[in-house]
Amino acid sequence: MLDMNGHPQTEATHITERFRRRNFGHIDLEVTIDDPAAYTRPWTVALAGLDFFPDEDLIEAICENEKDLPHVVGK
């Protein structure tokens, strides 16, 4: 499953993320999903106006079902 809404995903999935810094403090994100085994054509989702904090630490989120959790280094 690709997301919590139940969109299908196969081994053929290719995801492209494009980040564009619109101005100081804001980033636009465009995500394109290409999975010929699940969809008839690629589809794109645009997320505009994400906040960008250049002087802040990046905190990574880990899913509860993440299989690589034991390999994550740090506290």
What pLDDT, in 10s, does the model give residues 23-67?
Answer: 888 888 999 999 999 999 999 999 877 887 777 776 666 666 666
**Residue 18 belongs to some domain of the structure:** yes
The yes-or-no verdict on residue 74 having pLDDT over 70 is no
Neighbours of 15 (CB within 10 A): 11
Residue 2 within a domain? no
Any domain includes 9: no
Q: Write out the residue range of the structural domain in which residue 32 sits.
A: 14-71
The answer to whether residues 31 and 47 touch, using CB atoms and an 8 Å cutoff, is: yes
- What's the structural domain count of the chain? 1
N- to C-terminal Cα separation, the chain = 29
**Rounded to whole angstroms, how far apart are CA atoms 75 and 73?**
7
Give the predicted TM-score (pTM) of the model.
0.63
Predicted local confidence at residue 2, as pLDDT: 64
Which helix (H) or strand (E) covers residue 30, if one does? strand 26-34
